[in-house]
Structure 1
Amino acid sequence: MLKEKNINILKYSFLIAFILGSLGSLGLAPFNIFVITLLSIVFSIFLLEKQDRLRKAFYIGLFYGLGFYISSLYWIAISFKVANMGGYLLGSLAVFILCFFLALFSGLTYYLIKRFSKKNNLFFNSLLIIFLFSFFDWVKGNILWGFPWTPISSIWSFNSKTLAPFSYMGIWGYSMLTYTLVIAIYLFKKNIKLSVTFFIPFIVILSISNFSNKHIEYISQDFQVRLVQPNISQADKWDKEKTASNFQKLIDLSKNYNGKNIDLVIWPETSILFDIQQNKAKGLFLRESFKNIENIIIGGIRREKINDLNRIYNSLFLIDNKSNPIKYHDKQKLVPFGEYIPFRDLLKNKNILLGGIDFSSGKKFNLLKLNDDLQILPLICYEVIFPKITKPKNSKYDLIVNITNDAWFGNSRGPYQHLALSRIRAVLEGKYMLRVANTGISAIIDNNGKLIERININKSGFIDKKLVLYKKNTLYNYTGDSIFFILLIVLILVLIVINFKNGIKNKI
């Protein structure tokens, strides 16, 4: 009877792997059912054990990865429909290619686990699984242009307590810690003592990060902010006939301050479609309109001519009420196919996409000074998921401002995942984050990742909040991903030593 069940499982193993991967994505926002993700990986390892060929092991990982990534990233296809770039058909094809590419690494992970695992050596096999899962999780997030959107550690983004280890371990270190928890569950019926051994690191790090990371530095008291979410659809946003009414809507949402002074008003990404530096009249109009506002941050388009070539940038502008020059930050990490076409020069018709011109990547990073006490780190859209790329080395800042436009993705999982990754970034840095979306989810996030206040998706409005700002020096600020790489090296050295000792025993 058991033999028949095993035959049936093997017969449908690829389908089961795909289903397990799809269920595994439920640990990501907005569902956050992390237990299902952990169990889906555990069952996929059990499924891997039953395979008798390396090729089948590869396919188990491939189909698990396809299920996980398609279920997690399907929403990218919506942007193709919204942007009128081939609709759902081309969007679905693009999503499948991306997910297949990422799933290849899952396939390679399972292949190598099967190839190098040893009979009757649970400890070695457990370390091997942790090493390979952790390493390829990092590879998937950093290869080529980099896309660290779905690290396994992001399943812990739902609560400030479970977010805390990010401040110590970083994204990839916390992913490794999560895989130790997976192994603890996997070993529960095989070897309870070994299971407890792998369970302990997770509990220890979770406890330490929540109770010892309390080095808080006071920054500013009574800092009054307003976050403006206009909820303008993409069709209306790019309609030239509605440019004036869209602009007026933003002004109306900003001016309704009942006579009180506001230190900072923030508009979302590309909230204006002109260069505020070049349009002096509009810049003067804004300053005249917002006399009770100390500073306003606006997402817009910046244009410049370099060597007779016109360049455009997706930029964040800072305008104060003291007639100082407008400061700006140009987006450095652009979205492939959204803001530029990779390898456009190889296309026969270079003008067929995006009107023949790409956004240019910002070359110089500008921290923006609000006043004598506050300096901000500006992040545009998904720059928020790249902790090391999007800031100068050894830079000092007090507050993170992230402007974005999640209207591309409708009411899908995308905006919720984007918010979750923003919460992780706030914890990594130990800084407050002011996150403003055109539509999506605008929010004030504290330095522990807690959502202080938010505007939900497809809602128009603003958040008014008087903040007492704090920041804390996190271990991750000092070490970056060094802890993760050290642990990877330690793991591989231990694996080599165990393998070497086993080799000597076999010879004897």
Structure 2
Amino acid sequence: MERLSGRIILLWGWRRSLAAFLAGALLVLTQAPYDFFAAGFVSFPVLAWLLDGATAPTSASVLGRLRPAFAVGWWFGFGYFLAGLWWIGSALLVEADSFAWALPFAVLGVPILLAFYYGFATVLARLLWSDGIGRIAALAFGFGVAEWLRIFLFTGFPWNEIGYAAMPVPLLMQSVSVVGLIGMNALAVFVFAMPAMLSSARHRRAGLAVAAILCLLHAGFGLYQLSRPAGDGERRLAVRIVQPSVDMSQKWNPAEEERVFGDLMRLSAEPPAAGHTKPQLILWPETSVPFLFTDRPDALAAIGAMLTDGQMLMAGAVRSEGDGSQRATLYYNSVVAIDAGGEIVDAVDKIHLVPFGEYLPFADVLERIGLKQLVAGPMNFAAGTLRKAIALPGGLLSTPFICYEIIFPDLVAIDVASSDIIVNVTNDAWFGNTPGPYQHFRQAQVRAVETGLPVVRAANTGISGAVDPNGRVIDALAIDARAFIDVDLPVPVRASRQTLPYGAVGLAIVGLFGLIAAASIAIRRIKSN
């Protein structure tokens, strides 16, 4: 191990950059759908050894001294995000004639920008670098801060945060209910990087002992949580999740409206599956309704005729406000609740829109040079201003999150404070059968564990499913299946919810790693004097 670490430390030039890139790309195997978490025990030790050798001449400026550390982190991040997010280019191939030109900008541009977070992480770590366990704590601190910033900076994009690598199965997800994703990010890096200490005989035992203890606590807490019986007063909700599997080339085609709507109605009206009761809630995916309800009041009447007393339909639909003219009308990506009378009784609009997907930033300027919204649909969307819970049959409350809103742990934690169920509607058909839909579903699973609430999720082409409050999948539909599932959803009492402000424990853990790293530097200086 000492010989291997020595070779990696001494790498220089393009070989050093390539090693960092490959270590980052390998780390993607820890994420869904691969879930090979052992790859983290290779990637992060390599990163730590590369940082051991990330030195500059003493005559270099402050920025010059930090440049080698930044380069290592940037190349590591570029490999990680390129290997983990290449599938976003699939969305541009749906209308290849119009958007194929943008493919390299999406596939390469997004990883190039996101890699700056990891460059910042390694610079921060290198500023606190010492030896032994102190440098591992510094690495955990740097990545903990960088991944926290990724949640909200520049509208936020916390996709595939490192912490998910430590949560491939429900047994290993339970710790996130205590430390949050912020804490899990730092702890995962700390444990994954521990094999880097095997190169030092003096610190080897301490590193292995600390990593083993944290792993045992992580798995032991999961076992404890999953073995606990359901709390008193747990309620049940009969839910039908509909997955229409509409091809994106047909979704906004007026000639396909009747067929698409007819498939949704047919699947919704089927008799209950064996062993299930009539669904109280029927859930359709994001923008599943292929027209505006204001243009088709007959569709609302048909839905009302299909539903019976005690049933409600929640559907992803485009909602409009205005007089119908192009400039005076606002369109919203919404979830609407429809009762048995065929009336829209409530609606929630998407607040966190996807730049260039659902709206075009600086539209007046960019449209003049020929740029337009890339993938989401035939109109720009306006952002909603308020997320609220929608009342369901049986007196339960559900909070809807549309598409990638579910990946923001802070957003979900705050907005479900008075809710009983998390509803997620999405349309991942843009990305086909790639890792993207699996990663998206995994993040919805983790939101269930964080909040202690069940999640029901309808996706146009999958993955649709229901997740219990411990992250266990009750039932799910495969990608591209055109079908429905009936689920008897367990709903816990609200009193079981944690009340700490989101991120408080996680940020404390990140700060603790920073203190350990700083203390290691101080101790080394004292010994050297």
Q: TM-score, normalised by structure 1?
A: 0.90
Instruction: Describe the SS at the equivalent of 2:347.
Output: strand
Farther-moved stretch of structure 1 (445-454 vs 104-113):
104-113
Of 41, 50, 53, which aligns to 2:44? 41
Letter in 1 for 2:481: K
Q: Determine if the alignment matches structure 1 residue 158 to structure 2 residue 168.
A: yes
Q: Is the 8 A contact 2:280 2:393 kept in 1?
A: no
Letter in 2 for 1:384: I
Match of 1:176 in 2: 186
Q: Is the 8 A contact 1:152 1:178 kept in 2?
A: yes
Instruction: Describe the SS at the equivalent of 1:347.
Output: helix
Match of 1:299 in 2: 316
- CA 1:65–1:284 in structure 2 vs 1: closer, same or farther (change >3 Å)? same
Farther-moved stretch of structure 1 (382-391 vs 336-345):
382-391
Pairwise mapping of residues 164-203 of structure 1 onto structure 2 (< 5 A)?
Answer: 164-190=174-200, 191-195=203-207, 196-203=209-216
- CA 1:401–1:412 in structure 2 vs 1: closer, same or farther (change >3 Å)? same
C-alpha distance in 1 between matches for 2:378 and 2:476: 38
Show CA shifts across 1:301-343 (max 9, x none). 0001299831000000111215665211101111111101122
- CA 1:323–1:94 in structure 2 vs 1: closer, same or farther (change >3 Å)? closer
C-alpha distance in 2 between matches for 1:7 and 1:367: 54
- CA 1:17–1:491 in structure 2 vs 1: closer, same or farther (change >3 Å)? closer
Match of 1:342 in 2: 361
C-alpha distance in 1 between matches for 2:347 and 2:336: 4
Match of 1:10 in 2: 12
C-alpha distance in 2 between matches for 1:105 and 1:274: 40
Farther-moved stretch of structure 1 (220-229 vs 33-42):
220-229
Match of 1:395 in 2: 417
Instruction: Describe the SS at the equivalent of 2:492.
Output: strand
Q: Determine if the alignment matches structure 1 residue 240 to structure 2 residue 254.
A: yes
Instruction: Describe the SS at the equivalent of 1:454.
Output: strand
Q: TM-score, normalised by structure 2?
A: 0.87
C-alpha distance in 1 between matches for 2:497 and 2:269: 41
Match of 1:274 in 2: 291
Match of 2:486 in 1: 464
Match of 1:108 in 2: 120
Letter in 2 for 1:163: M
Letter in 1 for 2:314: I
- Deviation of 1:373 after TM superposition, in Å, equals 2.7
Letter in 2 for 1:177: L
Number of residue equivalences: 504
Match of 2:159 in 1: 149
RMSD: 2.9
Show CA shifts across 1:69-88 (max 9, x none). 00000011111111448534
Letter in 2 for 1:80: L
C-alpha distance in 2 between matches for 1:380 and 1:7: 45
Pairwise mapping of residues 104-503 of structure 1 onto structure 2 (< 5 A)?
Answer: 104-118=116-130, 121-190=131-200, 191-195=203-207, 196-211=209-224, 214=228, 216-217=230-231, 221=235, 223-257=237-271, 261-276=278-293, 279-291=296-308, 294-305=311-322, 309-322=328-341, 325-347=344-366, 349=368, 352-354=371-373, 358-390=380-412, 395-470=417-492, 477-500=499-522, 502-503=524-525
Q: Is the 8 A contact 1:374 1:398 kept in 2?
A: yes
- Deviation of 1:113 after TM superposition, in Å, equals 3.3
- CA 1:488–1:371 in structure 2 vs 1: closer, same or farther (change >3 Å)? same
Farther-moved stretch of structure 1 (389-398 vs 460-469):
389-398
- Deviation of 1:393 after TM superposition, in Å, equals 5.6
- CA 1:194–1:146 in structure 2 vs 1: closer, same or farther (change >3 Å)? same
Instruction: Describe the SS at the equivalent of 1:30.
Output: coil
Q: Is the 8 A contact 1:170 1:476 kept in 2?
A: no
C-alpha distance in 2 between matches for 1:334 and 1:387: 16
- CA 1:218–1:344 in structure 2 vs 1: closer, same or farther (change >3 Å)? farther
Q: Is the 8 A contact 2:175 2:218 kept in 1?
A: yes
Farther-moved stretch of structure 1 (329-338 vs 304-313):
304-313
C-alpha distance in 1 between matches for 2:9 and 2:393: 69
- CA 1:348–1:30 in structure 2 vs 1: closer, same or farther (change >3 Å)? closer
Farther-moved stretch of structure 1 (382-391 vs 297-306):
382-391
Letter in 2 for 1:156: A
- CA 1:284–1:7 in structure 2 vs 1: closer, same or farther (change >3 Å)? closer
- CA 1:33–1:505 in structure 2 vs 1: closer, same or farther (change >3 Å)? closer
**Which sections of structure 1, spanning at least 5 residues, go unmatched?**
none
C-alpha distance in 2 between matches for 1:177 and 1:91: 35
Q: Is the 8 A contact 2:465 2:474 kept in 1?
A: yes
C-alpha distance in 2 between matches for 1:92 and 1:444: 36
C-alpha distance in 2 between matches for 1:476 and 1:486: 17
C-alpha distance in 1 between matches for 2:415 and 2:491: 23
- Deviation of 1:43 after TM superposition, in Å, equals 1.4
- Deviation of 1:262 after TM superposition, in Å, equals 2.0
Letter in 2 for 1:310: T
- CA 1:262–1:52 in structure 2 vs 1: closer, same or farther (change >3 Å)? closer
**Identity percentage over the alignment?**
27
Farther-moved stretch of structure 1 (206-215 vs 41-50):
206-215
- Deviation of 1:221 after TM superposition, in Å, equals 4.8
Show CA shifts across 1:105-130 (max 9, x none). 22233234344423xx3233222122
- CA 1:171–1:222 in structure 2 vs 1: closer, same or farther (change >3 Å)? closer
Farther-moved stretch of structure 1 (157-166 vs 412-421):
157-166
- CA 1:302–1:106 in structure 2 vs 1: closer, same or farther (change >3 Å)? same
- Deviation of 1:490 after TM superposition, in Å, equals 3.2
C-alpha distance in 2 between matches for 1:20 and 1:244: 50
- CA 1:87–1:226 in structure 2 vs 1: closer, same or farther (change >3 Å)? same
- CA 1:226–1:285 in structure 2 vs 1: closer, same or farther (change >3 Å)? same
C-alpha distance in 2 between matches for 1:375 and 1:5: 58
Letter in 1 for 2:158: P
- Deviation of 1:444 after TM superposition, in Å, equals 1.1
Instruction: Describe the SS at the equivalent of 2:486.
Output: strand
Farther-moved stretch of structure 1 (191-200 vs 175-184):
191-200
Q: Is the 8 A contact 2:48 2:139 kept in 1?
A: no
Match of 1:71 in 2: 83
- CA 1:275–1:401 in structure 2 vs 1: closer, same or farther (change >3 Å)? same
- Deviation of 1:41 after TM superposition, in Å, equals 1.5
C-alpha distance in 2 between matches for 1:417 and 1:197: 30
Letter in 2 for 1:158: P
C-alpha distance in 1 between matches for 2:106 and 2:225: 45
Instruction: Describe the SS at the equivalent of 1:389.
Output: helix
- Deviation of 1:404 after TM superposition, in Å, equals 0.6
C-alpha distance in 2 between matches for 1:376 and 1:499: 50
